[in-house]
Amino acid sequence: MTNPKTENHANELLFEYVLDASPEKVWRALSIPALREKWLPDVACAQSEPISSTPEAEICYRMRDDEEPPFLESRVTLQIRPNDMGGTILTIIHRLPDARLNGHSSAAANDDACYLMLAA
């Protein structure tokens, strides 16, 4: 495995790894629960079944940040494709769709609060 290529967008992290294993072997590790459990335990998943799956190409899981409230959830997409050397390129896309993570604070639509400035 080579060092990951990493990109960072507003609500998304992207990691890319080059693996020595064949795409078929990597797909088995991603899609068979008993094999996946060794590196991605069910306790980290919001649900153990994938959200979506394209056989031998992509699988997506909902992940839970913590076992205690506020239960922030994210979406992790694992994409595989063969490389020229018989190995696999694994791309991990970690999206944070939770609105609480956007950093934007907006007032409620029915907020009629009066804002005052304080004099020094």
Whole-model pTM over 0.85: no
Number of H helices, E strands in the chain: 2, 6
pLDDT digits (tens, 9 = 90+) for 72-91: 788 899 999 999 999 999 99
Q: Sort 80 into a burial class: Cβ within 10 Å, 0-12 / 13-18 / 19+.
A: buried
Residue 19 CA to residue 79 CA, distance in Å, equals: 12
The structural domains of the chain, ordered by start, are 5-99 (3.30.530.20)
Measured distance CA(38)–CA(79) in Å, rounded: 19
pLDDT, residue 73, reads 81
Residue ranges for the chain with pLDDT beneath 50: 104-106
